[in-house]
Structure 1
Amino acid sequence: MLSRLLASAFVLAGVNTAIADDMKMPINSGELKWEAAPPTLPKGADIAVLSGDPSKEGLFVLRLRMPSGYKIPAHNHPTDEGATVISGNFHIGMGDKLDEKKAIELRAGGYAEAPAKMNHYGWTSSPSVVQIHGQGPLGITYVNPADDPSKK
């Protein structure tokens, strides 16, 4: 009996070692590499990719850093999107047009999820960082095509 327990412990220890060996290098927020957000988002935001590649098939995690007063018009994505507020005040609402009266203010630790194709919008009332995760490839379709900054 004891030998089976020891054997199981060694097997589990080996599994844990294998998982640790496959783990990506941990990173602190001060070490993130920020760059200008892609032209599909309004100018003024920065992006840092933490995991995966949002332009390719597969899971991704990124952070979006936005100044106070930054607005993202109503849009949707082809896949589900999860968002966690890391810092600041991020307001999010569901619908076809940015409506500040119909949104919820999320503070650090707040979470929102938008199913694929659900129209939603957001803005900041203070400098904010929001972590976005989902299944790539990440796309964005603005409800009003005139709101698409990549077309201007």
Structure 2
Amino acid sequence: MKTKHQFTSLQKISILLIFFFSCGIFAQETYENSISFSKSDSNLKWSPCPDFMPEGCNIAVLQGNPTEKNTDIFFKVPANAYIPAHTHTSAERMVLIAGELEVTYEGEQPQTLKEGTYAYGPAGKPHSAKCGDSPCVLFIAFEEPIDAMPIEKE
């Protein structure tokens, strides 16, 4: 004997299907647009680097908001520029787009990045770099908001 509020399995499935279909009709899907940039793209907005970085250093935000997580940038320095020792709150995932860049992480041997080289920099680990005889452009993906803190020499 069924009571007033008991439903058969078929009725339960029917109610669920009606619910899911009605939600789908009213749900609006939103998608981000895809993007692509080259190092010389005229749509890039280049901004100066922090004051302790070399003169002529510039950054272009490719995707994201630098004050939030997961932002991608191009980092550009002139030929023969020295990037002083600094740290970041975030880990860095990098690919050298142009030039040749020698990077030295504290306690490690220098690594020379050539065009197309991938590199990973751990969060909080001090490092410095020297650009070679032509300008360097580095793609960097930051996991955390972007920052760069100089290492004070004692």
Q: 1:140 aligns with which of 111, 128, 148?
A: 148
Aligned to 1:8: none
Query: Which sections of structure 2, spanning at least 5 residues, go unmatched?
Result: 1-28
Pairs within 5 Å for 1:26-41: 26-29=36-39, 30-31=41-42, 32-41=44-53
Say if 2:95 is the partner of 1:84.
Answer: yes
Aligned to 2:5: none
* Contact residue 106 and residue 126 of structure 2 kept, 8 A: yes
Q: Larger C-alpha radius of gyration, 1 or 2?
A: 2
Q: Aligned partners of 1:33, 1:22: CA distance in 2, in Å?
A: 20
Q: Aligned partners of 1:37, 1:140: CA distance in 2, in Å?
A: 9
**What is the Cα deviation at residue 69 of structure 1?**
1.1
Q: Aligned partners of 2:68, 2:47: CA distance in 1, in Å?
A: 22
Counterparts in 2 of 1:40 and 1:107: CA distance versus 1, 3 Å: same
Say if 2:110 is the partner of 1:103.
Answer: yes
Q: 1:131 aligns with which of 121, 127, 139?
A: 139
* Contact residue 40 and residue 140 of structure 1 kept, 8 A: no
**What is the Cα deviation at residue 136 of structure 1?**
3.0
Aligned to 2:122: 115
User: Secondary structure of the equivalent of 1:22?
Assistant: coil
TM-score of the two chains, using structure 2 as the length reference: 0.69
Count of aligned positions = 123
Sequence identity percentage: 28
**What is the Cα deviation at residue 72 of structure 1?**
1.1
Letter in 2 for 1:72: I
Counterparts in 2 of 1:65 and 1:83: CA distance versus 1, 3 Å: same
**What is the Cα deviation at residue 28 of structure 1?**
4.0
Say if 2:65 is the partner of 1:53.
Answer: yes
**What is the Cα deviation at residue 40 of structure 1?**
4.7
Letter in 2 for 1:22: E
Aligned to 1:11: none
Q: Aligned partners of 2:71, 2:86: CA distance in 1, in Å?
A: 19
**What is the Cα deviation at residue 145 of structure 1?**
5.6
**What is the Cα deviation at residue 41 of structure 1?**
2.5
